[in-house]
Amino acid sequence: MIIHVVSKGETLWQLASRYNVNINSIVQLNELPNANQLVVGQSLVIPKPGTSHVIKYGETLWSIAQQYGVTINAIIQANQLTNPNLLYPGTSLFIPAITHVVQSGETLAQIASRYGTTVQAISSENQIANPNLISIGMQLVIPRKKPIIEVNAYTYQSDEAGAQTVNELGQLLTYFSPFAYKILEDGSLSPIKDTLMIEAARAKKAVPMMSLTNFTATHAGSNEAHVILSSPDIREKIITNIIQVMDSKGYKGINIDFENVLPGDRELYNQFLQQVVNALHPKGYFVSTALAPKTSATQSGLLYEAHDYAAHGRIADFIVLMTYEWGYRLGPPQAISPITEMRKVVEYALTVMPAQKLFLGFQIYARDWLLPHVKGQEAETFSPQEAVRRAVKYGAAIQYDPTTQSPFFRYTDEQGRGHEVWFEDARSAQAKFDLVKQYNLRGVSYWALGYPYPQNWALLTDNFTIKKLS
């Protein structure tokens, strides 16, 4: 697929003509509410076969062409390169699709074998209903082999709304995590309504993963964590209650998200994790944790100190890195998930645990801050789709910060108040997917479902094959 950034005066009709695609396919893929309303700086996903490649140091057009099985000329033409010898590391190239023209006597099985793919993959890519019916001269797009990753998504939607979302997106998920069962000081768990969501997940072959936490949106949970972690009896009771919920509800694993744990409780938290693993593994359940975005072992602060990356990497089956919330709802306006900071977290994590244990956290919401920002004033949170709608409504040109790889814009509302919006678009999604591929991470974990973001899901399937567990 191609990511196109709208310039002044461009129309959807012009783009469809330029890329030789159906205008409705652009509208549907990006879920545009009005095909006649585009805004400068808006990114669009164009459904044209191909892929993107981020140039690395030392690469040449010849080496890139060899890697993807296309000609140097094809890359030059697709990217309108004026000087093929000038390649800048970090910039993205569009790699056109491999195509094959059907010859007399060829079958789809023979073509698939020649290119090292499958009949099913070619049929799906070219929307061929009957693989036995292909004609001479037909031009087929040959799908490239994609990295296989696992995908998790949390949600704090209601049971009904969550089930509806899973029905729409569950085919793209390996795991699904309703958020969250809260631990109480007596060792009991505050329940959530999750029956419909779990049923929907299982129907879509997404593994239900129980989520356990110590905090709420209004309560840090430090004291609860301390009381629980420091009492062997309460810890045993919690584990008993976890198993009871998992057995009765159909969860296959657990994600433990203890936040704001007191620094002095770090070792107790590690011991509790090991205790959970010792109890759940014999029953066939897996154990994962969610970790605050640390960039070093010595990082100070309540969010970080009790999160022992090395210990979690050793004890848990996999880790979700919570690589988001730099643009905090109560803080000043800034990128919510700056790629520069995400990269630092990943690179530190890789010093103490293997890449195949790591999920990159990916936030899928936007924030709107009032200007000037007043300390403690809460930003409004909504979907990336709503962010673009507001940019269109107020005629605000969308800008893109190349350092954080994040889109933003400013506007003035009807009351004359200034606003600054940071959100996610196709470019920022691709930057995160490139990070996953660069470091060969296990997968992506979304926080949180319920915010429409169609470009992300289109690019996810364009970049990766989603692993489904038996």
pLDDT digits (tens, 9 = 90+) for 269-289: 999 999 999 999 999 999 999
Q: What is the mean pLDDT of the chain?
A: 95
How far is it, in rounded angstroms, from Cα 401 to Cα 395? 19
Please give the average per-residue pLDDT across 247-259, as a whole number. 98
The predicted pLDDT at position 55 comes to 86
State the catalytic residues: 259
375 pLDDT more than 80: yes
The predicted pLDDT at position 53 comes to 79
Burial pattern 303-340, b for ≥16 Cβ within 10 A else e, equals bbbbbbbebbbebbebbbbbbbbbbeeebebbbbbbbe
Q: How confident is the model at residue 89 (pLDDT cuts 50, 70, 90)?
A: confident
Q: How confident is the model at residue 335 (pLDDT cuts 50, 70, 90)?
A: very high
Neighbours of 180 (CB within 10 A): 23
How far is it, in rounded angstroms, from Cα 269 to Cα 185? 15
The predicted pLDDT at position 19 comes to 86
Q: How confident is the model at residue 232 (pLDDT cuts 50, 70, 90)?
A: very high
Give ∠ CA 189-190-194 in degrees, rounded to 5.
105
386 pLDDT more than 90: yes
How far is it, in rounded angstroms, from Cα 423 to Cα 416? 22
Please give the average per-residue pLDDT across 111-132, as a whole number. 91
* φ, ψ at 329 (rounded to 5°): -60, -25
Q: How confident is the model at residue 18 (pLDDT cuts 50, 70, 90)?
A: confident
Please give the average per-residue pLDDT across 66-70, as a whole number. 89
Please give the average per-residue pLDDT across 115-144, as a whole number. 91
The predicted pLDDT at position 359 comes to 99
Q: How confident is the model at residue 163 (pLDDT cuts 50, 70, 90)?
A: very high
The predicted pLDDT at position 56 comes to 84
220 pLDDT more than 90: no
Q: How confident is the model at residue 91 (pLDDT cuts 50, 70, 90)?
A: confident
The percentage of the chain sitting over the pLDDT mark of 70, rounded to a whole number, equals 100
Q: Per residue in 405-423, pLDDT tens?
A: 999 999 999 999 999 999 9
Assess contact for 329 and 378: CB atoms under 8 A. Answer: yes
436 pLDDT more than 80: yes
Q: Per residue in 35-57, pLDDT tens?
A: 999 999 999 999 988 887 778 88
Tokens 């007043």 belong to residue:
374
Q: Which two tokens stand for residue 346?
A: 């990943």
470 pLDDT more than 80: no
How far is it, in rounded angstroms, from Cα 120 to Cα 131? 8
The predicted pLDDT at position 321 comes to 98
